[in-house]
Structure 1
């Protein structure tokens, strides 16, 4: 019974991390590049709008729900280290919690807040926008890699637990 619940939790963590990785990948691969091609005021307005509209129950549920599932998985892994796949549960959880949630809070959200405080037509807005796109995207690459690594780790944890 516990094994079935842990498997379901691990599967949900893998799916959530994979979905988040895909969202972040889209921003790194083409969304930010498309916004950077616009005139600065238009790119800023678009990103300011994205930063508001992303705060939906669907996105936040997946984003933070995956973190909750990962933290529960860490608890299980710590109390059953001999369990096949426990290392991968720990790794996936650490990647998601620190590499996705931690990086978002420490690096992306502060940049989003700073962008929100700037009027796009202000004289210094263009230089802020250029710096924002560059710095935000670098940290988004980190989040993308962490979320993808977490998804792979959760899949490896599932695989290990079903092979024994």
Structure 2
């Protein structure tokens, strides 16, 4: 699981490197100004492009792999690898859906605002996690409630 999260970070870092280096949003500007929204739109589109390229590689690995291995150990290893590839592909599919949802929020004027409290999510949080839908505090409260309900 940590590896998949690390891969997401690598893909996001690659998308950030593809952005023009002449602008980075700051707290000194009006929150969610046109410049901010344009920056995040470009970042999200670059991130989506990177995820799709990685997904294409995953799909290619699945297509190239042998269907049956003669040795039982090799077959078990191949099936484990396939399972990991399929989980990775599912994570990528879900991430693309979240990126698309963030792009829709930009278009509707809701991007950058917490869906729970209505407060600003914050530029630094959005730079770190452009698909964030909640402030750090709201996210922590949500995770605590989720943990409590799982423990019941």
Q: TM-score by structure 1 length?
A: 0.44
Which structure dedicates a bigger proportion of its chain to helix? 1
Q: Which has the higher contact order (CA 8 A, sep 6+)?
A: 1
- TM-score, structure 2 as length reference: 0.46
